[in-house]
Every structure is written in C-alpha cells, then in structure tokens.
Amino acid sequence: MANHSARNVRITGTSESSGGRFQRLTVLGDCTFHGAVECKSLRGMGEVEVNGNLTVGGLRMMGNMEVHGNLEVTTANVLGEMQVSGDCTGDVLTLRGAFNVDGLLSADDLRVKLYGPSRVRDMGGASLVVRKRYGKAAELVAEVIEGDEVNLQFTTAEVVRGRRVVLGRGCRVKRVEYQDVFEQNSDAVVEEAVQLH
C-alpha cells in the first residue's frame, strides 16, 4: 500500500470503527467497521463485521466474519463462519468452517473443509477442492461450480464444469460438463454428464 497515512492498529475487546486504510490490522475480540476497510494484513480472533468492502493482502481469521460488500484478498486462511453479501475473490483461499457467499467465490487455489452447512451462488478458480470434516453434518450448495481441476465431496450443484472433474461421496449434481477427465464415486448422484470437445 503506497498511502503513507495508513497505520498499524490493534483492537482489543469490543469496539466500533469508521473503517479506513491500515497497514496491519489486528482484532482480538469483537469489532464492527462502519465503512470500507483496506489493509495489507488482517489478523482476527473473535468477531469482525465490515459494513462495506474489505480489501486485504493477507487475512487470518478465527471466529466469525461478516462482510456487507465484496471481499478481495490475496491470501486467506479462515477458521469459523464467514458471511459475504457480495463476491469473495483471491489468489489462495483456505476456508475451514461454514460460509455463505451471496455472489461469486473465486480463487486460483481454493481449499474448503466443511464444518457446517455452506452456500455460494457461483464458485470458480483454477484448482477447487471441497472436503467435509469427519463426523460433521455439512454440505455445500451452489448453482454453478467451474474450474480447471475440480474435486468435490458433499456438494449439491446445478452445474459442475471443468477440465478434470472428480465427484466424491455425498455429491448431487444435475449436469457435469468436462473436457478431459470425469470420475464419479458410486455414492455421487449425477443426472447428466457431457464431455466437451
């Protein structure tokens, strides 16, 4: 970030902020930002709510995160619950928990471990992996999932599209469109699979 007015901020306990630009932002507790937030890094433990867009280089969050807008991130590691009312985009995203993204969830490398019910409108990227934590009642529901390498478990989708598509246990998909490889677990339900040339 080139802005020299950006600063390092540490928030402990319960607090509110107007938002703004930061270098390193640390939240230990509960904080509500009443406006967009832009920072190089955000480390949170507890609950973070942003009423606006969140743009961050590196995100590490343990707890609950709610973004009323778009979430743009370079790398993210989230453990807990995440709600995004817009799009969530990044280079490398690792999500462990339950999440709700009203728009597009997209990353070059997206790794998801489901701990609870999760929902996204559309999901895309180069490499997409969805797994479920053992013993948890969890499922991902999406309209369209598209990537180069798509490897899913416990996912319900209208359309899954990719160069290489692997559907594991607990998948229910109406239509699979693949270019090179399609593998289906005996437990997965697929209504239609079409190879695209």
Tell which of 48, 75, 102 closes a domain: 75
pLDDT at 133 (0 to 100): 81
120 and 66 within one domain: no
- The domain total for the chain is 2
182 and 156 within one domain: yes
- Cα–Cα distances in angstroms (integers) from residue 62 to residues 26, 30, 95, in the given order: 12, 12, 10
195 and 170 within one domain: yes
Q: Give 3's pLDDT tier (boundaries 50, 70, 90).
A: very low
99-119 mean pLDDT: 96
Q: Judge whether 81 lies within some domain.
A: no
For the stretch 133-190, pLDDT in tens is 876 789 999 999 999 999 999 999 999 999 999 999 999 999 999 999 999 999 999 9
Distance CA 87, CA 92 (A): 15
pLDDT at 5 (0 to 100): 58
97 and 48 within one domain: no
3-13 mean pLDDT: 79
Distance CA 1, CA 23 (A): 7
Burial class (CB in 10 A: 0-12, 13-18, 19+), 153: buried
Average pLDDT, the chain: 94
| CA–CA–CA angle 117, 120, 126 (5° rounding) | 115
Quick check: 1 pLDDT over 60? no
113 and 58 within one domain: no
Q: Judge whether 164 lies within some domain.
A: yes
Please count the other Cβ atoms lying within 10 Å of the Cβ belonging to residue 135: 7
The residue segments making up the domain with residue 45 are 1-75
- Cα–Cα distances in angstroms (integers) from residue 154 to residues 117, 127, 160, in the given order: 10, 17, 13
**Rounded-to-10 torsion of CA 98, 11, 4, 70:** 20
121 and 43 within one domain: no
41-61 mean pLDDT: 97
Q: Which residues pair with 45 in a beta bridge?
A: 28, 62
pLDDT at 4 (0 to 100): 43
pLDDT at 197 (0 to 100): 79
Tell which of 75, 102, 129 closes a domain: 75
48 and 136 within one domain: no
pLDDT at 137 (0 to 100): 81
Tell which of 75, 98, 117 closes a domain: 75
Distance CA 127, CA 106 (A): 10
17 and 70 within one domain: yes
152 and 103 within one domain: yes
Quick check: 92 pLDDT over 60? yes
Distance CA 150, CA 142 (A): 14
Q: Judge whether 80 lies within some domain.
A: no
71 and 98 within one domain: no
For the stretch 54-89, pLDDT in tens is 999 999 999 999 999 999 999 999 999 999 999 999
94 and 188 within one domain: yes
Percent residues over pLDDT 70 in the chain: 96
Q: Judge whether 68 lies within some domain.
A: yes
- Cα–Cα distances in angstroms (integers) from residue 129 to residues 16, 63, 152, 172, in the given order: 36, 22, 6, 16
Q: Judge whether 133 lies within some domain.
A: yes
Q: Judge whether 82 lies within some domain.
A: no
